[in-house]
Every structure is written in C-alpha cells, then in structure tokens.
Amino acid sequence: MGAPDNIYLWGSYLSGTPGKGLAVESYGGRGPQGKIRLFGGLIQNSGKLRGRVYGDGSLANGYIETFDYDRRFANSGLTPPNFPTARYFGNPKVVPVPLSYKEY
C-alpha cells in the first residue's frame, strides 16, 4: 500500500532530537502526491525536505506543504504549562475555535 495523495495533520508536533524533523521518506523517488496540510504547530530541530517543485511552482515529486499555525499555542491561556516540554496537562474549560485554511 502506497502513501496517500494528500495528508491532513491536526495538532502540534514536536521533533526535538538533534538533526530530526518532519520529513517524507524517499520523496525524490515518488511522483507528485499532493499536499501536506498542517493545522496546528510544528517544532523541529532541523527542517527536512518533503518534496520538490519545478521553477514554475508546480509539484515535481513528494508533497507541497501548506501550514496554518494554530494561534492558540502562541502566548495564550490555552497554551499548556511549559509547552512544549510538558507531557500531561489539564484544562478544565476548552473553547473550540474554528480553523480555516487556504488552498494553494
């Protein structure tokens, strides 16, 4: 079974190991697979390649990334204590906030 053509990631992801980050395995050996859409946040030690584009902006192979960061994690009352170092936290009142994204 192959990788999906479009990937939707909801949440905030942490990759703090030195030299590690969000990556796509063998992106150069696959055809164009669509978009990675991240709704949340990404904390990584090292930026990794997830795809390649031609000079005209069209996708050559792998994925084009579309990131829409969740502003609740940026200095607000909803940010977990010691974020992103805390493993567990409680929040007695969660206010849902509808998110939107842009198609590129």
Beta bridge partners of 66: 37
Write down the domain spans for the chain: 7-73
pLDDT at 76: 62
pLDDT at 16: 76
- Number of H helices and number of E strands within the chain? 0, 4
Residue 78 has pLDDT above 80, yes or no: no
Show the tokens assigned to 34. Answer: 């669509």
Q: How confident is the model at residue 9 (pLDDT cuts 50, 70, 90)?
A: confident
Q: Do the beta carbons of residue 41 and residue 68 sit within 8 Å?
A: no
Calpha distance 4→45 (Å, rounded): 26
pTM (two decimals): 0.60
